[in-house]
């Protein structure tokens, strides 16, 4: 006998996703009792008077759970459940027995891998609870498999995305390798080598974010000059300078779409991603003890004097002085290159913007000192004498009067570096590979 939702319409309702049960027993009264017990639960129910009939039903319709009697003519419950396991391993199997036959129960457990067995006469609540738990477990296992499949698919998609990123990185690898070759020569003096490494990291950040070449260097130079003017200790000035070079390191993980927009043009969701970068930048540097001071300034360089900045909403003197200095220097450069506003500002417009937000965005004392510094720089008419040379004119012992920076903003050698034969050979090799000539500025010792 086969009963389904069409025969028993009341069994089809009640559950959002109706599970299907199959009861197999050669006693009609047992089947009737099970139907009466489970019909109110909203399950779709099939019944069969024997194992062969039960298998035929399962060939026609999917079944989530089977309850089978042990003692049946022609095919025992153990034999029936063994075939169910072989053909439909995901179907939950429960054995119903009224006999104290340990050997038969063991056979069913070993061959049919049953979920559990229930002794006759059963306790209704116990049977219903067992079925509900069994189906819940089945659902969890199916969901686990679904999530595993989804995870594998997403991993494959991620591999494809990474492959695209690797192609971009590979296109610039040779240039980065050439840059790193110069680092090997920067260890003659520990402090100078440390700062040179920081400058290179800064340029790699700019290479990733596609910003205007030299942004980090300009911010760092202005911030260092301002820190000195405001009387910070040498170690604090050093932290400000390093933080200026690396203040955007937390943007490395942002997408190209976000990196190519000024902040004012970002969507709300994109802004949420961007404002995470100061804290992320601090995290990236905290493992290096020498950079802990700079890392804390990087975290706070987007805080505002009025408390409306991020990521911590600090205000006034609660913001580290170095971070207040760095915030102004960063915005001054960003305003002129259009990374903050819809259009780039002229230098006078940028000054006026900073003057107009004195006391809201920026510390008034920092603004006053910065404007004084810019005014003093304009009045300075003298300049360190220097000579402009082609690379073929370089000689060992010459001292650089300016940084050597590629067209893409990558720092090769720092101002003040003393040339030697090995470095000169590296520069010639770089020019040959890039098919470009480098203009060199050295100190004019006769000037």
Most confident listed range (106-120, 190-204, 269-283):
269-283
Tell me: the pLDDT tens digits for 226-281? 999 999 998 899 899 988 888 888 887 777 777 767 777 778 888 888 888 888 88
Does 430 fall in a domain?
no
219 & 135 share domain: no
pLDDT of residue 21 exceeding 80? yes
Does 127 fall in a domain?
yes
227 & 358 share domain: yes
State whether residue 295 is helix, strand or coil. helix
Does 420 fall in a domain?
no
Point out the domain boundary residue: 329, 364, 381.
381
What average pLDDT does the structure give for the chain?
A: 80
139 & 219 share domain: no
pLDDT of residue 198 exceeding 80? no
> Nearest-CA neighbor of 297 among 409, 199, 219, 208?
219
371 & 251 share domain: yes
Does 75 fall in a domain?
yes
128 & 231 share domain: no
230 & 360 share domain: yes
Mean pLDDT of the 56-82 span: 90
Buried b or exposed e, range 296-332, using 16+ CB within 10 angstroms: bbbbbbbbbbeeebbbeebeeeebbbbbbbbbbbbbb
Residues contacting 179, CB < 8 A, separation 6+? 200, 203, 204, 410, 411, 412
Residue 187's pLDDT band (cuts 50, 70, 90): very low
Mean pLDDT of the 335-354 span: 84
224 & 345 share domain: yes
Point out the domain boundary residue: 366, 381, 396.
381
How is the beta sheet containing 65-69 ordered, strand by strand? 44-48, 20-24, 65-69, 92-97, 116-119
Contact 292, 238 (CB under 8 A): no
What letter does residue 212 receive in the DSSP assignment? P
CATH number at residue 80: 3.40.50.2300
Does 390 fall in a domain?
no
Point out the domain boundary residue: 327, 346, 381.
381
Residue 204's pLDDT band (cuts 50, 70, 90): low
Does 440 fall in a domain?
no
CATH number at residue 222: 1.10.3210.10
Tell if the pTM clears 0.75, that is, is over it.
no
The radius of gyration computed from the CA coordinates of the chain, to the nearest angstrom, equals 38
Residue 202's pLDDT band (cuts 50, 70, 90): low
Tell me: the pLDDT tens digits for 36-45? 999 888 899 9
131 & 233 share domain: no
The residue among 312 and 265 whose pLDDT is bigger is 312
Tell me: the pLDDT tens digits for 408-429? 656 677 777 788 888 888 888 8
Percent pLDDT > 90 in the chain is 26
358 & 230 share domain: yes
Mean pLDDT of the 136-145 span: 86
Q: Which domain holds residue 249?
A: 215-381
Does 412 fall in a domain?
no
219 & 109 share domain: no
The pLDDT value given to residue 314: 95
**Helix ranges restricted to H, 184-310:** 190-209, 215-229, 234-246, 256-259, 268-274, 277-285, 292-300
E-strand ranges in 326-401 read 386-390
283 & 368 share domain: yes
32 & 134 share domain: yes
Task: Give the number of domains in the chain.
Answer: 2
């Amino acid at each position: 006998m086969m009963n389904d939702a069409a025969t028993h319409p009341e069994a089809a309702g009640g559950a959002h996703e109706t599970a299907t049960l199959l009861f197999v027993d050669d006693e009609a009264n047992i089947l009737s009792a099970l139907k009466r017990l489970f019909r109110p639960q909203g399950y779709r129910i099939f019944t069969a008077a024997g194992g062969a009939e039960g298998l035929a039903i399962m060939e026609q319709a999917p079944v989530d759970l089977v309850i089978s009697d042990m003692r049946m003519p022609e095919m025992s419950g153990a034999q029936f459940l063994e075939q169910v396991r072989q053909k439909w391993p995901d179907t939950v199997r429960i054995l119903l027995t009224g006999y104290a036959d340990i050997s038969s129960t063991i056979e069913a457990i070993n061959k049919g891998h049953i979920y559990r067995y229930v002794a006759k006469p059963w306790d209704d609540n116990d049977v219903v609870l067992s079925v509900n738990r069994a189906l819940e477990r089945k659902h969890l296992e199916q969901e686990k498999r679904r999530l595993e499949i989804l995870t594998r698919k997403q991993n494959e998609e991620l591999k494809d995305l990474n492959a695209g990123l690797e192609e971009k990185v590979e296109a610039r690898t040779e240039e980065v390798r050439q840059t790193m070759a110069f680092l090997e020569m920067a260890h003659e003096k520990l402090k100078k080598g440390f700062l040179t490494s920081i400058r290179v990291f800064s340029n790699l950040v700019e290479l990733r974010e596609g910003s205007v070449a030299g942004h980090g260097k300009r911010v760092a130079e202005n911030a260092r000059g301002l820190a000195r003017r405001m009387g910070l200790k040498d170690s604090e000035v050093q932290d400000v300078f390093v933080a200026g070079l690396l203040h955007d390191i937390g943007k490395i993980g942002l997408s190209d779409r976000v990196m190519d927009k000024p902040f004012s043009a970002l969507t709300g969701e994109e802004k949420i991603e961007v404002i995470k970068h100061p804290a992320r930048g601090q995290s990236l540097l905290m493992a290096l003890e020498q950079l802990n001071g700079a890392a804390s300034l990087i975290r706070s360089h987007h805080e505002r004097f009025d408390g409306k900045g991020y990521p911590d909403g600090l205000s006034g003197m609660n913001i580290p002085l170095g971070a207040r200095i760095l915030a102004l220097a960063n915005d001054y450069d960003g305003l002129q290159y259009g990374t903050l506003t819809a259009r780039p500002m002229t230098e006078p417009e940028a000054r006026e913007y900073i003057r107009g937000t004195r006391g809201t965005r920026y510390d008034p004392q920092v603004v006053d000192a910065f404007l004084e510094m810019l005014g003093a720089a304009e009045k300075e008419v003298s300049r360190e004498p220097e000579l402009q040379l082609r690379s073929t004119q370089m000689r060992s012992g010459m001292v650089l009067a300016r940084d050597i920076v590629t067209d893409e903003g990558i720092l090769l050698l720092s101002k003040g570096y003393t040339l030697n034969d090995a470095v000169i050979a590296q520069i010639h090799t770089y020019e040959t590979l890039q098919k470009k000539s480098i203009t060199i500025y050295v100190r004019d010792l006769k000037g």
